[in-house]
Amino acid sequence: MSATVIEVAELRKRYGAFTAVDGVSFDVRAGEVFALLGTNGAGKTTTIEILEGYLRPSEGTVRVFGHDPADRAALRSRTGLVLQESGLFGDLTAAETVTAWRRFTSGARPVAEALEMVGLTGQAGTRVKRMSGGERRKLDIALAILGRPALLFLDEPTTGLDAEARRRVRDMVGELAAQGMTVLLTTHYLEEAQELAARAAIMDKGRIVTQGTMAEVLGRGSGRVAFELPPGASPEGLPVGERDTLTVTGRRCVIVTADPESVAHDVLGWARVRGVRLSGLDVRQATLEEVFLDIAGAGRQEVRT
Ligand code: ATP
């Protein structure tokens, strides 16, 4: 197993009588993208700001590369931050911005390499105020990775961008991860987390409601296996687990299940044994968005009762 880069154990953060983070534990391993997700006000930004060393925990243990995050000197060169609000100067060009940042970044990449890594070579001479939102976000990321950090904090890197710019930033994060960078990502675009992250945690009201590999988190929701039986074939004996539900409408069968892959496998086995040919087989796992909406919905019901 890879080394642990971030360790969070029983973290709590109180603002007066209000507990914003209420006993959160997770870890992030070297070389993985970990998504910290949650409903509005769940405590993600508070958790990340503690990891970045900007806020102190009220209780619990937090370690980044084995250090207390407040020890900024030990961590500065190993971590890159992309905050929600960027602080770029409109009158500088992309290349001038990187050049300025290189002065106080030790072991900085050359300007051309930093711009190339984020796909901004063509915009080197463009002033920040003339750049698109997506280009500015890429420049933020270029600055964050300038000192070759091993860990990158990406706090909502694509918020406010259009679909195409989001796709470009997302591809770039995927490439950085493929090069071995550890990434802690927060985002409200769940398809982005589903695509990029190997593991995820979903927070609600200061607590982690579910966490694990993306497959484990998705397994919390219900996927489906749908197909049509040939005329005359009976659905009798279809392999439907105790927690699964089968709905038959004419020849069309839909099995709702947490584990659509194994159900599909069993259904194909069932058909083979009976010499039945299935048509229109459609196997779909729950999406992260569905799992998330389930969690958010359960939270609201709790409040109501
Ligand atoms: P969002 O997705 O909406 O950005 P979040 O998960 O990042 O939410 P946080 O910003 O961590 O949530 O906030 C968690 C809770 O703590 C919120 O209810 C917020 O109002 C509260 N909070 C944050 N900072 C303070 C503060 N300085 N004083 C009091 N309450 C605070």
Beta pairing, strands 245-249 & 151-155 = unpaired
Helix, strand and coil content of the chain, in percent to the nearest 5, comes to 35, 30, 35
Domain 4-218: which topology? Rossmann fold (3.40.50)
Query: Do 30 and 182 touch, CB atoms closer than 8 A?
Result: yes
- As a whole number of Å, the end-to-end CA separation of the chain is 43
Whole-angstrom Cα distance, residue 37 to residue 44? 7
For residue 194, what is the enclosing H or E element?
helix 190-196
For position 18, what pLDDT does the model report? 96
The Å distance, Cα 180 to ligand 1 centre, comes to 31
Which amino acid makes up residue 129?
K
Whole-angstrom Cα distance, residue 12 to residue 60? 6
The Å distance, Cα 17 to ligand 1 centre, comes to 14
What does the domain layout of the chain look like in residue ranges?
Answer: 4-218, 223-285
* CB-side neighbour CA atoms (13 Å) of 159: 12
For position 302, what pLDDT does the model report? 55
* Binding-site residues, ligand 1, Cβ < 6 A: 15, 18, 20, 38, 40-46
Q: In Å, what is the CA distance from 30 to each residue of 54, 81, 189?
A: 22, 17, 24
Residue 95 has pLDDT above 90, yes or no: yes
For residue 172, what is the enclosing H or E element?
helix 163-178
The Å distance, Cα 36 to ligand 1 centre, comes to 14
For position 300, what pLDDT does the model report? 62
Residue 86 has pLDDT above 80, yes or no: no
Give 159-213 pLDDT, tens digit per residue. Answer: 877 888 788 888 888 888 888 899 999 988 888 999 999 999 999 999 999 999 9
Q: What is the pTM of this model?
A: 0.83
Kindly report the protein residue whose alpha carbon is nearest to atom 10 of ligand 1.
45
